Amino acid sequence: MSENKAYRELTPYLERIMALQTAQILFEWDSETLAPVEAAPYTARAVGILSESYYRTVTDEKVKELIRVCREEGGLTEAEDAVIRELSEEAKQLDCVPAEEYREFAELTAESAVIWAKARKENDFDAFAPTLEKVLDYQKRFASYRAKDGQKLYDVILDSYEKGFNMENLDRFFEKLKETLVPFIRKLENSGTEIEDGFLTGDYSRQKQEEAARFLAEYVGFDFSKGVLGESAHPFTTNLHNHDVRITTAYSDHVDDSLFSVIHECGHALYELGIPDELTQTLAGQGASMGMHESQSRFYENIIGRSRAFWEPVYPRLQKIFPQQLGGISLDRFVHAVNKVQPGLIRTQADELTYSLHILIRYEIEKMLIEDNLPVNELPQVWADKYEEYLGVRPEKASEGVLQDIHWSQGSFGYFPSYALGNAFGAQIYFHMKKQMDIDGLLREGKLAAITDYLREHIHRYGKLKTSRQLLKEVTGEDFNPEYYTDYLIDKYSRLYGI
């Protein structure tokens, strides 16, 4: 029990906040996995009421009063102090939005995911555009309520995902990626090296893919007594607390999509499973930020999961699951194939090298939508032009262009940059870890636990006690430095392509 009397009085409110949050998260998981199509508008009403109740609890005058007294009284533990900081920030964020608008927005996004999914399926951007415009208007309005002295709206939005990162430093980061990677990708394309990956596509049964997915999840350390593996159109991870972390994958005829999305989601899950008991089910009991989360998932998926050393001990097992498709394919051919660079249209299918250019495009477009008021109906055109310019490919259909991602339908503007930052954080952490442990050696011996233990010790166990920037500094001894990421990519792909 807390030493601080006001904190003890605050506890029932904190528990209520957590319960309401958990219920909403569970509805999100359900609507993405098992809920029937027609449920959405009805469920949206229940979600709207839960979210209004959450809003009222966080912004309750009594809660504000107790936060103030808690701070005056002092004597809080580090975890309590972090909970008070998160609660007070959340209260400030919500307080500037009228309750009615907050509820309307929750209802709108619960429904808009379904409208988006239908529009994508029918390849009909016009069917989604009016909803997208509404969602965007809400987000701009909310940002304007939150903006402090002349702060730009997109900066307000970015800060809610990644503290300490705004347009100024993201412009610099993405400029560096553009300058380095666009010409490098052209160079690879002109290198004359052809990588054969046709065998990754074909008649891979859903059932066998699920067997492989479960095997890989367990192999990287996902604990099935504290988690489940489901199926959804877009793979994602849902975290209720450190004893219930759920991941999904999607099965297609490209076997590598499901294999690597499972490893990716396991990276997220290991982070949440590594949150200590004293932090879980508190406002400080999740990963530090979206970017730090992506650093973990991408570290497992790409840096580790696509390395030869990772597959050395487990490739024979994969061949056993798919004897007809992979039985005659050597380990080297497999590893080359899963690292093939192919500028394409779909972000979630992008290779590791071109991935961040998909994010660069979304970052530039979000800036245009929010800062330059780009009309929503011009999106398909702007999208196609940018793909042509940076990746040399042009979408013919909206479903493989601007309609491919769920994020904007949920109002998640400002989320995409976290993916690219995560890649860069991961490479910086990797560079540092390699100085302390023989990562390839551990992978060859199948000792993934040693790698996860390191991350748990230096990152996971802190939850939100520290920001991503602080964690990065403490783990690597320096501030964010994107050079590690571009160097890592150029080194890896120069070797793979023999240039």
Q: Which residues bind Zn ion (CB under 5 A)?
A: 297
Q: Which is nearer to Zn ion, 334 or 413 (CB)?
A: 413
- The residue (of 57 and 286) whose beta carbon lies closer to Zn ion is 286
* DSSP code string of 96-107: TS-HHHHHHHHH
**265 given a catalytic annotation:** yes
Selected catalytic residue, list 32, 52, 162, 265: 265
For 223: left if phi > 0, alpha if psi spans -120 to 50, otherwise beta; the answer is: beta
d(CA 343, CA 256): 16
Report in angstroms how near the CB of residue 289 gets to Zn ion at its nearest.
Answer: 13
Separation between Cα atoms, residue 177 and residue 169, nearest integer Å: 13
Tell me the closest approach of the beta carbon of residue 294 to Zn ion, in angstroms. 5
Q: If you write DSSP's letter for every residue of 332-373 in order, what string do you get?
A: HHHHHHTT-----S-GGG--HHHHHHHHHHHHHHHHHHHHS-
CB of 29 to Zn ion, least distance (A): 15
In the chain, the amino acid numbered 358 is: H
Q: How far is the CB of 419 from Zn ion (least distance, A)?
A: 7
Q: How far is CA 69 from CA 8, 18, 61, 63, 86, in A?
A: 11, 21, 12, 10, 16
What residues form DSSP beta bridges with 248? 230
Q: What span, in angstroms and rounded, lies between the C-alpha atoms of 334 and 330? A: 6
The CA-based dihedral angle spanning residues 316, 321, 323, 326, taken in that order and rounded to the nearest 10 degrees? -60
Cα 62 to chain centroid distance, Å, stands at 35
Residue nearest to Zn ion (CB): 297
Which positions ≥6 away from 42 have C-beta within 8 Å? none
The token pair that represents 286 in the structure block: 């999740």
Looking at beta carbons only, is 264 or 456 nearer to Zn ion? 264
- Decide if 240 contacts 25 (C-beta within 8 A): yes
327/330 Cα distance (integer angstroms): 8
Nearer to Zn ion, 48 or 267 (CB): 267
User: By C-alpha distance, which of 349, 359, 354 is closest to 414?
Assistant: 359
Nearer to Zn ion, 131 or 238 (CB): 238
| Residue among 81 and 352 whose Cβ is closer to Zn ion | 352
Nearer to Zn ion, 286 or 297 (CB): 297
Cα–Cα distance between 280 and 296 in angstroms, integer? 18
| Residue 449 C-beta: closest distance to Zn ion, Å | 22
In the complex, the smallest distance separating the C-beta of residue 262 from Zn ion, rounded to whole angstroms, is: 12
As annotated, the active-site residues are: 265
